[in-house]
Amino acid sequence: MVTFRINGASQSVDVDNDVPLLWVLRDELTLTGTKYGCGVAQCGACTVHLDGRAARSCVTRAASLAGREVVTIEGVAGQVAQAVQEAWRKLDVAQCGYCQSGQIMSAIALLSEIPRPSDADIDTAMSGNVCRCATYVRIRAAIHEAAATLGG
């Protein structure tokens, strides 16, 4: 049994210690906004926030969750999240949309740490997020748009 906070609420789950957080979210808690992409932390589709930082849920084991805070795409809130989501809509970033929850979670983490990121900051922070539709130009523009909205 592991107890942690998920999207602001305490949650206990009875799973094996080596079960990835991704499967705890999707199978145990029915939070399906976090996507499975590669299973080896290379594509970013499974990105969540773990204690306020972007983390790959496909390689985060249940045993490491005790007492920690997890936020998924379903639970993001606040000015930064709102600015990122609005910029995504305004600039029509999503094409197929599969990777977008991970992209958005990474963008929120970036802007929370660096309110006015350069292109290099964006490229570095987003480099682990793969978009098969190749909307990278729109992703970068949306991050700049969100930063501008936030006064960055």
**pTM of the full predicted structure?**
0.96
DSSP H helices in 24-99: 79-90
pLDDT band for 152, please (50, 70, 90 cuts): low
Percent of the chain with pLDDT over 90: 98
Domains, the chain, ordered by start: 2-71 (3.10.20.30), 79-149 (1.10.150.120)
Find tokens 């995504």 and name the residue: 88
Convert the pLDDT of each residue in 87-133 to its tens digit: 999 999 999 999 999 999 999 999 999 999 999 999 999 999 999 99
Amino acid of residue 27: D
Burial class (CB in 10 A: 0-12, 13-18, 19+), 107: buried
